[in-house]
Amino acid sequence: MWQRIALRQTRAFVASASRVRTMSSQNPIHDAAKAAGQKKDTSPANPSVISSEGAIGKQFNPDGNIGQIGEAIGGPFSKDGAIGSQFDASKDGIAGTVEKAVDGPRNPAKK
C-alpha cells in the first residue's frame, strides 16, 4: 500500500515540476535572476565563483566532487532525476536560476 502512495506522490511531484519549468517566464524569481544577471560583468573567460564554471559551482556539475555523489546514488539524484535535474545550470531549475543571476556561461542573462 505504501508503495502506491509513494508512486502517486512521485507522479504528482513530476507533474508539478514540469509545470513549473514551463511557467518560468511568469516566475518573478526567474525575472529577478535575469535582471540581476544583466547587470553582471562576468563572462565565460571570467566566470563568477558560483556559476557552473566557477570554483564553487563546478563542484555541483555531474563530474564535480558533489555532483558525482548524486550520480553514484542514482535514481532521483542522478543528473536526469527529479532532484538531480535541478542542478543542471542550462535548465530553469535551481542551478539555472543561479546561473542566470550570475550571468553564467550555461544560462546567461540576455543583455
Res. 102: pLDDT tops 80: yes
Q: Which three cell numbers stand for residue 54?
A: 566557477
Contacts of 90 (CB under 8 A, 6+ apart): 96, 99, 106, 107
Instruction: Write down the mean pLDDT value for the chain.
Output: 77
Average pLDDT over residues 3-25: 51
| Residue range 83-103: mean pLDDT, rounded | 86
Which has more pLDDT, 49 or 4? 49
Contacts of 77 (CB under 8 A, 6+ apart): 69, 70, 71, 83, 84
Higher pLDDT, 23 or 100: 100
Quote the distance between the C-alpha of residue 36 and its chain's center. Answer: 17
Q: Taking the complete model, does pTM exceed 0.75, yes or no?
A: no
Residue 23 is predicted with a pLDDT of 47
